[in-house]
Amino acid sequence: MNSKLDRRQFLKLAGIGGVVFASGMGGFAEAAKTGTVGKDFFFVQLSDTHWGFKDEKVNPDWQGTLKKAVAAVNDLESPPAFIVFTGDLSHTTDDPKERRNRLSGFRDIAAGLKAGNIRYMPGEHDASLDNGEAFKEFFGPTRYTFDHEGVHFIALDNVSDPTSSIGDAQLAWLADDLRKLDPETMITVLTHRPLFDLYPQWDWATRDGAKAIELLTPFRNVTVFYGHIHQEHHRMTGNIPHHAARGLMYPLPEPGSVPKKAPIPWDPAHPYKGLGFREPKAIAGKSIYSLQEYPIR
């Protein structure tokens, strides 16, 4: 069996959509059973581009930073397997028309990325004021799954509900998806807000995130990548590592380090400081990622 096929393609070819894999079928099935990656690959995580944000003191290059990131990703030695944007593609506006302007402006720049596949996710700035309606018009569903080289990816939406809840319907959808998987399967969750209580004082939490973590806990090889906090951050909950990425418009202070959460002003001596993107690498036969962080220069 060709290990390059993703699960959906495989199911389609084999004509057994929805049927659990028999053992010894190679590719995704083999890798999923052992909890390891089928073949080396890496993807790129970009986050919190806040297209439409404008404050010269915070980022005088508010129109250029995302373009710089796109150029930097296109300059990588080899192209990523795919790219994910973990939310806050655009900056909040109360005006539905302007929201669409911003999302389309963002989309046009992101279209310059050289990658086979780009996966988009909403942040609360994109989706919380209209329950993800505008986001869906541009980028499709706010939650979905896909498979790559034995890794099962799950994009979870914890922002379309303005109370920052995943919601019972989506939790049932998650439980249903997980039910089909072997406990050894390497699972990678992509989301915008942290699923755990990182710093609820600054809204750095998901109201029912603990329920998602509980559903994921029986699986031994789970990794979560998220955005929202505009800085690199790593935390374990049980055996699940959670990795926050830097943003591409403005950095935010460390949780609780200052009385009030506010963007860190631009430092002319160190332009683009705190902004960057990430490259998680999956190595064949292993079940963890090695992370490489790239600054914007």
Binding site for another protein (CB under 8 A): 92-94, 124, 128-129, 159, 162-164, 200-203, 207, 259-261
- Indicate the residue among 119 and 192 with the shorter CB distance to another protein: 192
Nearer to another protein, 195 or 291 (CB): 195
Q: Which is nearer to another protein, 183 or 200 (CB)?
A: 200
Cβ proximity to another protein, 27 vs 263, nearer residue: 263
Write down the residue that tokens 């603990």 correspond to: 210
Query: Closer to another protein at the Cβ: 253 or 280?
Result: 253
Q: Which is nearer to another protein, 228 or 278 (CB)?
A: 228
CB 70, CB 210: distance < 8 Å:
no
Q: Between 126 and 149, name the residue whose CB sits nearer to another protein.
A: 126
Residue type at 54 in one-letter notation: K
Give the contacts of 141 (CB within 8 A, at least 6 positions apart): none
Q: 120: helix, coil or strand?
A: strand
Q: What is the DSSP string of 23-37?
A: TT--HHHHHHHHTSB
Report in angstroms how near the CB of residue 271 gets to another protein at its nearest: 24
**Shortest reach from residue 50's CB to another protein, in Å:** 12
CA distance 245 to 2: 33
Question: What whole-number distance in Å separates Cα of residue 268 and Cα of residue 67?
Answer: 19
From the CB of 261, what's the least distance to another protein, in Å? 7
Could you tell me the smallest distance in angstroms from the CB atom of residue 206 to another protein?
11
Cβ at position 30, least distance to another protein in Å: 43
Q: For residue 123, give the nearest of 162, 76, 152, 74 by alpha carbon.
A: 162
Supply the minimum distance, in Å, between the C-beta of residue 133 and another protein. 14
Q: How far is the CB of 161 from another protein (least distance, A)?
A: 9
8 A C-beta contact, residue 90 and residue 126 = yes
64 Cβ neighbours under 8 A, 6+ residues apart: none
CB 142 within 8 A of CB 178: no
Structure tokens at 93: 């506006």
Distances (CA, A) of 141 to 192, 209, 240: 14, 20, 26
Does residue 216 contact residue 240 with C-beta atoms inside 8 Å?
Answer: yes
